[in-house]
Chains A and B, each alone.
Chain A
Amino acid sequence: MTRRAYDIVIIGSGAGGGTVAQELSPLCQQGVRIAVLEKGPKLRNEEFTGRELEMAQALYEDGGAFLTAERTMTLAFGSTYGGSTAVYTGTSLLPPERILKRWNVPGLTLVDLEPRARKYMAENNVHFLEAQHINENNRLFVEGCRRLNYRVQQFPVNLKGCRGSGLCNLGCPNQAKQGTNRVQLPQAERNGVEVITRCEVLRISERALSVRVSPKPPAAKGEPSAWEPGECYVEAKVIVVCGGAVNTPALLLRSGLGRRLPRLGQGFTCHPAFIMVAEHPRPISNFVGHPKSFYLDEFAESERFVLETCMYFPFTTAKAIAGFGQEHSRWMAAFPRLQMILVLACDEADAYNRVTIDGHGRPVIHYRFTPDVIRGLGAGAARSAKIFFAAGAVRAHMPLGRPTTIESRDAGRVDRIAQRGEFKPGKVPVSAAHLQGGCAMGSGSEDSVTDSYGRVHGIPWLFVADSSLFPNSLQINPYLTIMALADRAAEAIREQAHTLL
């Protein structure tokens, strides 16, 4: 088995790993050896084709359809150079103070986090998209909300040179989205950090890792790994785990840390979501232009949901529309006239919802929909239907309604139709992309996995820097908060470099 040695190894290259890599990269000038190990491939610019299945297979874990143990929800997360920042829509929100207060992590305050988040907002060109670049799918959402006196807000987004391909979730073909794949990782590499793709970490042991490098499959996208395929033993004085809320807890569990960290894997949340669609009497610009420019969070506390504009691709849309047969096909045939809204439930950490591993050490996500989540999805669906009709839609599709299609003449009965419907897990198409928790921050190993700097309790050389640190749901799009937390972890490592390295 090949043996290698580094001072710092970072596992994962998404919002957490990319940030830590950049922030620690100046140490390379002092001779510190740093490697980022990324399980997914690095694609060449010309390989971002925007073709739905091809890109989903190349950029997402399990093609974007990682199933929960109950098989009632799919989880979408990136597995590529840049992690999920390569496939999100670039929405960039600051962590809400009310949530940080509720998390109640000693030493973690908005005063500390906000300047860090703002640093990355500046670095990633976060701004409001200009009015002329907002498509009708988004404008109709704003119109509907305003007619109903809802407090609709615009997403700040991290775009530079956006041409409006509408393909954000399949990896921007124009390299306009400023994820870690475009900003932090290239900077880290220029400073001397090595990024090794197709490299999966099997286990962590005392200041070392066992990894497996995969060969590039025939006809697959992406560059081959910089390392020879096969298993490898890597020594590291500091290890920073940034594999995300599914893979980070799973890696620590299969490394045997579950016994000393009883909270490991607990507290998984994910903003379970479904897509609402509505048909307008005329074609609207929907698949051209940035897909996710506005949101509505005024009901996050009172009704437990957030609404976001969205626009998906044919297969994803077909999967999201409930039912089958002629009625389903009628909806699909209306594609150029469709408006879409994503309903996200604000879930809370629940004792059942957690990450474990199977007999092969692979991650298993256990998730059940609590009554609060079901109520949140139902309320969000009803509000969405009202927004559609206020914006002029002729009919709306409500996956959990009975019936699922609501004509505009029944707009006044939306609440009743939503209430009459029954949420049957496995029937309603639910998916999630805001995966959080499993390595919660806190004060000690009895209530958490790490301290507020992501340092694993009792293991000074092991850090976590990703969304698995969240003690509970963030209730907003998480990437800026992840970057701010990763910045804290990098700061702690730099400050202790003299003892750790």
Chain B
Amino acid sequence: MTIPAPLRAVFHALVYTIVPGALNLSGPDWEGLDQLVDGTLCARPPSQRRQLRLLLRLIQWLPVLRYGRSFTSLSPDKRAAFLSYLEDHRVQLIRCGFFAVRTLALLGYYGRPEAGREIGYAPDARGWEALG
């Protein structure tokens, strides 16, 4: 497991905030999402995996300074406000860090074939012929 269990809850809270539709995911859906994320992270250098773990810890605890609560204890609106703050931060490194976790959340959610079907994406190698 590339995201250790205590940080997995932080990552899932991030996914809920970035893609609100994730609230409707079932247990097996989450397993699929986590597998995609783990598979992607496994192919990355160990240094990037370490940076991701650090980033998730920062996202969990930085809101304490702002809201007096950790990220996973915040209401959905406050979580979104906090992520918007990171996304638009004056420090480039922080913006890039947020972009990285956002990318990972979107990869896990929209990388699932079920998510493609839900939004009407139905590719077929037969192309025009498949349209009938």
The CB with the most chain B CB atoms within 10 A, among A71, A166, A318, A323, is that of: A318
Q: Is A52 an interface residue (CB 8 A)?
A: yes
CA distance A178 to B125 in the complex (A): 17
Q: Is A325 an interface residue (CB 8 A)?
A: yes
Asked if A429 contacts B99 (CB within 8 A), the reply is yes
Asked if A324 contacts B119 (CB within 8 A), the reply is no
Taking the closest CB of chain A, its distance from the CB of B23, in whole angstroms, is 11
CA distance A163 to B124 in the complex (A): 10
Q: A54-80 toward B: CB 8 Å interface, digit per residue (1/0)? A: 000100001101000011100000000
Give the interface segment out of A97-105, A327-335, A340-348, A479-487: A327-335
Asked if B96 contacts A289 (CB within 8 A), the reply is no
CB-nearest residue of chain B to A336: B120
Total interface residues in chain B, CB < 8 Å: 44
CA distance A285 to B130 in the complex (A): 12
Taking the closest CB of chain A, its distance from the CB of B115, in whole angstroms, is 6
Asked if B96 contacts A71 (CB within 8 A), the reply is yes
Give the contacting residue for A53; candidates B17, B40, B123; CB below 8 A.
B40
Give the contacting residue for B125; candidates A163, A313, A324; CB below 8 A.
A163
Asked if A329 contacts B99 (CB within 8 A), the reply is no
Total interface residues in chain A, CB < 8 Å: 46
The CB with the most chain B CB atoms within 10 A, among A52, A72, A333, is that of: A52
CA distance A63 to B40 in the complex (A): 8
Asked if B111 contacts A324 (CB within 8 A), the reply is no
Residues of A within 8 A of B19 (CB): 324, 328-329
- When A164-B128, A166-B127 are in contact, do A424 and B88 touch as well, CB less than 8 Å? yes
- When A335-B120, A426-B95 are in contact, do A288 and B88 touch as well, CB less than 8 Å? no
CB-nearest residue of chain A to B22: A329
Taking the closest CB of chain A, its distance from the CB of B21, in whole angstroms, is 6
Beyond known contacts A71-B99, A314-B119, A429-B99: 9 more, CB 8 A cutoff: A133-B128, A163-B126, A163-B129, A319-B106, A324-B80, A324-B87, A336-B119, A425-B96, A426-B95
Q: Can you report 10 A-B residue pairs in the complex whose CB atoms are below 8 A from each other? A: A70-B92, A71-B100, A165-B123, A166-B127, A314-B111, A315-B111, A325-B20, A329-B20, A333-B119, A429-B99
Please report A residues at the B interface, Cβ cutoff 8 Å.
50-53, 57, 62-63, 65, 70-72, 133, 162-167, 173-174, 283, 285, 287-289, 313-315, 317-319, 323-326, 328-329, 332-333, 335-336, 424-427, 429
